[in-house]
Amino acid sequence: MTLPRSLFDFEGSWDLSRTIHDTRAGQVVHAHGQASLGPTKGGLVYDEEVCLRIPGQAEMKGTRRYLWLDAGDWISVHFDDERYFHALYLGQARSSDHHDCPPDSYDAVYDFSRWPMWSVTWTVSGPRKAYEMTTEYRPR
C-alpha cells in the first residue's frame, strides 16, 4: 500500500468534494471545489475554494487557509493566524486527532488507504453544533 510519508507528498492541486451531515439542522450540505498546497517557510500553505450548496439557499462561495508545517513523521496543521489546530500523522493508512475549541469538540480521522486519493472526516459536537463533515480529495 502506498502512503504519504512526507509533508511534500501533498504539494500540488486537489479536486475536493465535501458532504456535511448536520444533525442539529436536519440537513445535508454539499460542497465541491479545489485545494492547493504550495510552499511556504517551514511547510505548505493549504488554500481552498469551494461552492457550497445549502438546501433552500443560493449557492455560496467559501475559502479557507491553513498552514501545514513539517514535523518529521507528522504534519502540524495551524490556522492561518499560526495558532495550532491539530496533527496529521504520516506513514499510516489512518490518522486521527482531537481539537478542543470550547465549548465545541472536533475529532478528525484522515484516511490514506486509497492514496493518492484521501479523505478527512470531522465529527463536531457542542451546545449548538452536531455534524459530520467528510471531504474527499483527488489529485488534479
DSSP string for the chain: -----SGGGG-EEEEEEEEEEETTTTEEEEEEEEEEEEEETTEEEEEEEEEEE-TTS--EEEEEEEEEEE-SSEEEEEETTS-EEEEEESSSSEEEEEEEETTEEEEEEEE-TTTTSEEEEEEEESSS-EEEEEEEEEE-
- Per-residue model confidence as pLDDT tens digits over 88-101: 999 999 999 999 99
Q: For residue 135, what is the domain's CATH number?
A: 2.40.128.20
Q: Domain of 61?
A: 10-139
Q: What is the mean pLDDT of residues 66-72?
A: 96
Q: What is the mean pLDDT of residues 42-63?
A: 96
Quick check: is 43 in a domain? yes
Quick check: is 4 in a domain? no
Domain count, the chain: 1
Residue 24 corresponds to which cell in the numbers above?
442539529
Quick check: is 77 in a domain? yes
Quick check: is 19 in a domain? yes
Quick check: is 2 in a domain? no
Would you say the pTM of this structure is higher than 0.75?
yes
Quick check: is 82 in a domain? yes
Quick check: is 3 in a domain? no
- Per-residue model confidence as pLDDT tens digits over 87-135: 999 999 999 999 999 999 999 999 999 999 999 999 999 998 999 999 9
Quick check: is 50 in a domain? yes
